[in-house]
């Protein structure tokens, strides 16, 4: 399976390739900020990508704006509970810039906002158990991800990738029905920035409707709060009622849309950014 490349350039990290038809600046280093903006614009033109997307701190925002980027979303106090975070995008085609399903996006947000703050204490149905995943679980995790997603922006269907990210900055969580893994999720942690992306939620079709994502999210928040993480956020599929409702119920605040941002199961999908300040 083809995946987009992840490269470190100076203190910055970039993912790019044809799978998502984009370059994504995952981390902007302060010392090479100006060079990175120029680099990704040149890279997109050279490779023919139709979007560049960046997760940028305040010091980089104007540099992106000066190069034709727009601010699609903003998370206050994103870095270390102090500096704001900006999701900056530049489109290289009119088609990529235009939302394909604006009515559906509006409907999902409207229903999610109606459910805001309605989370009750999460509990697992009888017979199910929660765990933090470990290296010996990666084959089973990859198999579950392959069942749920035909394709995905990161190679989570590859057990070697899952093991590698466990060594780096990702904590995976799972729910079992006896011995069978039926749901999984992850927290991708920026320890220096004291924020974490709540992501990679997947539940087997036969286990949906049991509130497993809701339970996972509650346990994930408990876990990362103990690590000193101040802000949790997600980049959720804009067309998914379930995931947007889950985050709204947990008091996450909507920060903005990322239009035609991410390829999931063969289609470019718009995403919604949600965030939550974790209290001590």
* CATH at residue 196: 3.40.630.30
Last residue of a domain, one of 97, 132, 148: 97
The CA distance from 144 to 119, in Å, is: 27
pTM for the model: 0.94
Last residue of a domain, one of 97, 131, 163: 97
- Give the DSSP letter of residue 43: H
Last residue of a domain, one of 97, 120, 137: 97
- What pLDDT shows up at residue 265? 83
Q: Tell me, yes or no, whether 154 and 25 share the same domain.
A: no
Q: Rounded to an integer, what is the distance from CA 50 to the centroid of its chain?
A: 20
Q: Tell me, yes or no, whether 73 and 124 share the same domain.
A: no
Q: Give the domain extent around 40.
A: 5-97
Q: Tell me, yes or no, whether 133 and 262 share the same domain.
A: yes
Count up the domains in the chain and report the number.
2
User: Helix 33-47 to helix 58-66 angle, to the nearest 10 degrees?
Assistant: 40
Q: Tell me, yes or no, whether 215 and 262 share the same domain.
A: yes
Between the alpha carbon of residue 67 and those of residues 36, 81, 158, the distances in Å are 11, 28, 36
* Long-range contact set of residues 132-136: C-beta below 8 Å, sequence gap at least 24: 132/171, 132/172, 132/173, 132/174, 132/223, 133/166, 133/172, 133/173, 133/174, 133/184, 134/166, 135/163, 135/166
Q: Tell me, yes or no, whether 178 and 67 share the same domain.
A: no
Which portions of the chain are predicted below pLDDT 70?
Answer: 1, 280
Q: Tell me, yes or no, whether 127 and 234 share the same domain.
A: yes
Q: Tell me, yes or no, whether 148 and 124 share the same domain.
A: yes
The CA distance from 179 to 215, in Å, is: 19
Q: Tell me, yes or no, whether 211 and 74 share the same domain.
A: no
Q: What are the residues whose beta carbons fall under 8 Å from the beta carbon of 192, sequence distance 6 or more?
A: 80
Between the alpha carbon of residue 184 and those of residues 131, 138, 178, 241, the distances in Å are 10, 11, 15, 19
- What pLDDT shows up at residue 244? 96
Q: Tell me, yes or no, whether 62 and 158 share the same domain.
A: no
- What pLDDT shows up at residue 151? 84
Between the alpha carbon of residue 232 and those of residues 156, 172, 253, 254, the distances in Å are 21, 15, 10, 12
Q: Tell me, yes or no, whether 134 and 255 share the same domain.
A: yes
The CA distance from 253 to 113, in Å, is: 9
Q: Tell me, yes or no, whether 215 and 231 share the same domain.
A: yes
Q: Rounded to an integer, what is the distance from CA 117 to the centroid of its chain?
A: 21
Q: Tell me, yes or no, whether 79 and 131 share the same domain.
A: no
- Give the DSSP letter of residue 118: -
């Amino acid at each position: 399976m083809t995946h987009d490349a992840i490269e470190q350039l100076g203190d910055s990290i970039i993912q790019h390739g044809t799978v998502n038809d984009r370059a994504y600046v995952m981390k902007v280093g302060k010392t090479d900020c100006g060079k990175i903006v120029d680099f990704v614009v040149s890279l997109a033109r050279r490779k023919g990508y139709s979007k560049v997307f960046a997760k940028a701190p305040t010091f980089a925002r104007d540099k992106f704006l000066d190069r034709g980027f727009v601010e699609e979303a903003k998370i206050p106090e994103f870095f270390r509970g102090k500096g704001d975070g900006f999701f900056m995008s530049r489109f290289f085609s009119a088609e990529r810039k235009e939302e394909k399903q604006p009515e559906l996006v509006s409907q999902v947000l409207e229903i999610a906002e109606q459910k805001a703050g309605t989370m009750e204490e999460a509990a697992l149905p009888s017979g199910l158990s929660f765990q933090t995943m470990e290296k010996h679980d990666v084959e089973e995790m990859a198999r579950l991800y392959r069942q749920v997603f035909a394709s995905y922006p990161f190679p989570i269907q590859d057990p070697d990738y899952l093991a590698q990210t466990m060594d780096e900055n990702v904590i995976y969580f799972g729910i079992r029905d006896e011995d069978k893994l039926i749901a999984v999720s992850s927290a991708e942690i920026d320890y220096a920035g004291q924020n974490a992306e709540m992501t990679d939620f997947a539940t087997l079709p036969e286990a949906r409707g049991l509130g497993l994502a809701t339970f996972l999210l509650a346990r994930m928040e408990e876990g990362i709060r103990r690590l000193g993480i101040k802000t949790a956020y997600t980049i959720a599929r804009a067309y998914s009622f379930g995931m947007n409702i889950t985050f709204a119920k947990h008091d996450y605040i909507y920060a903005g849309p990322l239009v035609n941002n991410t390829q999931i199961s063969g289609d470019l999908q718009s995403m919604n950014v949600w965030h939550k300040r974790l209290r001590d």
